[in-house]
Structure 1
Amino acid sequence: MAFNAFSDYLLLEKNYSKLTLRAYTSDLEEFRNFISEEFNTVIIDDVNYQQIRNWIVHLVEKGITNRSINRKVSSLNTYFKFLIKTKDIEVNPLSKHKALKISKEVQVPFSQSEMQEALAQLDSQTGFEAIRNKLIIELFYATGIRRIELVQLKLTDVDLSNKTLKVLGKRNKERYIPLLDSVIETIKSYSEERNKLEIISDKPYLFLTKKGVKIYETLVYRIINNYFSKVSSKVKRSPHILRHSFATHLLNQGANLNAVKELLGHSSLAATQVYTHNSIAELKKVYSNTHPRSKN
């Protein structure tokens, strides 16, 4: 199995991150383990579509979501496309495969009042963790960055003199996001508390645990869920909903869609347009309340 060559292809030619590479490798290993048990082979290059269908059925029966299954199959498809490129196979067994249907989930953003209430919880609190948590919430809401992007932020990514934040997004694409004065003040407060830590193992990284190591994604999720569970009854209270709130509130205030696309780090407008649903709802509300003919 041309794992090494495939890995080099993803890293060097496709410019995928190491995190994405691990996800692809994990999916391929999972499929290889399946065909080893079911068909007594570990050579993915020789499988047929029916064997892949058996794997998909197996995943469905395990309760894996259609979205996750589609992602796993997509990893496999990318591998087969690589084998076509290198002329190791002539036909992609997934060439006619249709992805499983995914029900569209309505992502409900936090309201502006919920955002204010969540941050108000932290205004009077002191100490390293409280100020760190406040900065995490403020950064998510003020910049719209992804959770993994926040976790990977380094001290050198913050430019206080130019009031900008350098973010390393998908496929190692860099973007610069302006920082609000209020966020800069919180960054300064956090830096003071960070410097008081007795031990710092991961010195380059901006966000640390109280033990001085780089913060991790599950902790970031718990922080967001904890604070917003006190001010919101929404089912989903995650970093992604904060990103959604950032985009929705900007669009509600009349921000240009293309500008929001650049801030979010999207490669196409289609990805950004998903956030316009709530903005259109807000426009309809304003329209019905203000148009002279709406009262008739």
Structure 2
Amino acid sequence: MEYQESFINYLRYEKRTSPHTVVAYKKDLDQFVCFITEMVGEFDVNKVDSKLVRTWIVSLMEKQLSPRSVNRKVSTVKAFFRFLMKEKIVETNPAVNLPLPKVRKKLPGFVEEESLHHLLDDGFFPGDFRGVRDKLIVALLYATGIRLAELMQLKGSSFDTKNYLIKVLGKRQKERIIPYPREMNNLLFEYLEIRNREIGYFPDILLVTEKGKPVYEKLIYRVVKKSLEYVTSFEQKSPHVIRHSYATHLLNKGADLNAVKELLGHSSLAATQIYTHTTFEKLHDIYKQAHPRG
């Protein structure tokens, strides 16, 4: 138990891993520890070998877990033993070089540009506090491509309204600056005015509930799902789908891949390149429709 706690604290305080990811790591690690304990009667990090880890992987696959889920859980165990090697508690990592189920590359889904313009421009949101706040949530996600956790951390001071820039604190506490459309200021000022008048002044948080509490994940998911239902039949309706839409629309308009990488806060270009597949598919469809021999 001591080693697991040390690992989680390492992720939380040294690696500055996001709280959501830390919770997922802890859950995966707890499941692994329980499995090993049931198998051999105890969990001793120095007695865990590749054979035991392989048996655990097989058990996960027998439970019909998706290849993506199995790979994520194995990644957690790999990271745990890397940490133990770093601390000189174990000499080898039993979770490396094991055969894993192949993950089928899933292209990110996105909402059409016209649908999002329709949603934000054509009166779907009422003019009361909740309506203005909900519109600001959707508008910020689409205008900047920020993550859910980044959206929840925004303050009024995050905005440079003169230069139309927003300062975002991303993964591992990395700060980045993102431009936003000029018309966003009108919506931002409208929200701040109605919030300060009806709910209260909050210097340390931008988005709040009607009771003056910071917005939470489920609320934002609910807002996005309800809003997208007005304009699209696309099955997935989440903040991340709006982020996918932001990236795809930028690339469709000819944005440089490296620039999109910086805007999204990706640590490597490989994470951004997945959006080019969606773009190429769209270009292929246009070609088939437009070319005489398409």
Alignment of 1:171 with 2:172, yes or no, is: yes
Q: Deviations over 1:119-165 (max 9, x none)?
A: 24545611111111111111111111111211222232222233211
Cross-structure match for 2:129: 128
Separation in 2, partners of 1:177, 1:192: 24
- Name 1:224's counterpart in structure 2: 224
Displacement, 1:283? 3.2
Q: Secondary structure at the match of 2:168?
A: strand
Q: State the match for 1:146 in structure 2.
A: 147
Unmatched 5+ stretches in structure 1: none
- Counterpart residue identity of residue 207, structure 2: F
Determine helix, strand or coil for the equivalent of 2:183: helix
Give the whole-Å Cα distance in 1 for the aligned partners of 2:173 and 2:125: 38
Q: What does 1:63-212 align with in structure 2 at a 5 Å threshold?
A: 63-120=64-121, 122=123, 125-198=126-199, 204-212=204-212
Distance (whole Å) between structure 2 residues aligned to residue 64 and residue 295 of structure 1: 44
- CA distance, structure 1, for counterparts of residue 267 and residue 103 of structure 2: 22
Unaligned runs of 5+ in 2: none
Q: TM-score by structure 2 length?
A: 0.88
Distance 1:15 1:198, change over 3 A: closer
Question: What CA distance in whole angstroms lies between the structure 2 residues aligned with 1:60 and 1:183?
Answer: 47
SS at match of 1:103: coil
- Which residue identity does 2:81 align to in structure 1? F
Give the residue type in structure 1 aligned to 2:274: V
Query: 1:254 deviation in Å?
Result: 1.0
Q: Secondary structure at the residue paired with 2:177?
A: strand
Distance 2:199 2:110 in 1: 38
Does the CA-based 8 Å contact 1:149-1:169 persist in structure 2?
A: yes
How far the C-alpha of 1:244 sits from its partner, in A, is 1.0
Aligned length: 293
How far the C-alpha of 1:204 sits from its partner, in A, is: 1.4
Q: Summarize deviations over 1:58-113 as a string: whole Å, max 9, x none.
A: 43344433222221211110111121222211221112123322222233311112
Q: Give the match for residue 249 of structure 1.
A: 249
Deviation at 1:12, TM superposition (A): 5.3
Q: Return the offset for 1:285.
A: 4.8
Q: In 1, Cα distance between the equivalents of 2:179 and 2:119? A: 22
- Shift of residue 260 of structure 1? 0.8
Percent identity reads: 42
Give me the whole-angstrom Cα distance separating, in 1, the residues matched to 2:200 and 2:193: 14
Report the Cα distance in structure 1 between the residues aligned to 2:283 and 2:159, rounded to whole angstroms. Answer: 35
Aligned to 1:214: 214
Letter in 2 for 1:99: L
SS in 2 for 1:204: coil
Q: Which moved further from structure 2: 231-240 or 18-27?
A: 18-27
SS in 1 for 2:102: coil
- What displacement does 1:18 show? 4.1
Which amino acid counterpart does residue 15 of structure 2 have in structure 1?
K
Separation in structure 2 between the aligned mates of residue 52 and residue 124 of structure 1, nearest angstrom: 52
Aligned match of 1:267: 267
Work out whether 1:36 is the aligned partner of 2:72: no
Root mean square deviation of aligned Cα: 2.5
* Alpha-carbon distance, 1:46 to partner: 2.6
Distance 1:194 1:61 in 2: 51
Task: Indicate whether 1:258 and 2:263 are aligned.
Answer: no
